[in-house]
Amino acid sequence: MVDRFLRNEGYFRIFHAANCQEALAICRTDKPDIAILDVMLPDGDGFALLTSIRRFSAMPVLFLSARGEDEDRLLGLGLGADDYMVKPFLPRELVLRLNMILRRVYASPTVEHMPVFGLGNYIVDLEGAEVRSEQGVQALTAKEHALLVKLYRERGRIVTSDALCQAVWGDDYFGYENTLMVHIRRIREKLETNPSSPEHLITVRGLGYKLLVKEG
């Protein structure tokens, strides 16, 4: 049903995967622009699948699942998903959400001429959407990238939670405050030695967040 509806809406390059193994093969070889994942799969679950995908790709991901509990939704978003929809769903809403993600990821001017800068023992490469350290390379998801772009542009200054939500979700950002906290935590896990006691991405209680970058 999803395949038929997407083709009617103009999506023409659609791949099917019946399990995690097939999905990983498709993501590696065909490199789709976006992935729609279920949580419950024959040979695993969508959360583990997303973790595997994130080891080699920052492609946007939307979860479409019957599991609608808050902990499942927050887990999916925390692992780097761009959105989480619960079944039953309106096919038109699915297309609208997919289009919003694709416009944000692939049509955003913020991906051009992005800097590379250091944060302690970490190198943040906004052009390549990754964080490098002695432990290896970690890809930034689309939302993590958008948040870091906004924070870097306002480095040293407080960026309100509303401003960060708007940078990621656009004008229709109300209700995403808790989701923002999940993404901030995931960013800290990638660029802080101790994410529970951050040195670079600081919380300013009651206001928002501040990125501390040593210039020069």
Report domain 2-107's class. Answer: alpha beta
On whether the 111-211 domain is CATH 1.20.810.10, my answer is no
Asked if 59 contacts 33 with a C-beta cutoff of 8 angstroms, the reply is yes
Global pTM value: 0.54
With CA atoms as reference, report the closest residue to 147 among 196, 188, 116, 205: 188
Residue 106 has a pLDDT of 74
Q: Give yes or no for a contact between 132 and 125, defined as CB atoms under 8 angstroms apart.
A: yes
pLDDT digits (tens, 9 = 90+) for 171-215: 666 667 788 898 999 999 999 999 999 999 999 998 999 999 976
pLDDT of 165 strictly over 80? yes
CATH 3.40.50.2300, the chain: domain bounds: 2-107
pLDDT by residue (tens digit) across 27-64? 999 889 899 999 999 998 999 999 999 888 888 999 99
169 pLDDT more than 60: yes
What is the token pair recorded at 77?
């978003």
* Cα–Cα dist 39/47, whole Å: 6
List the Cα angle 183/206/144 in 5-degree steps. Answer: 15
| 44 bridge partner residues | 41
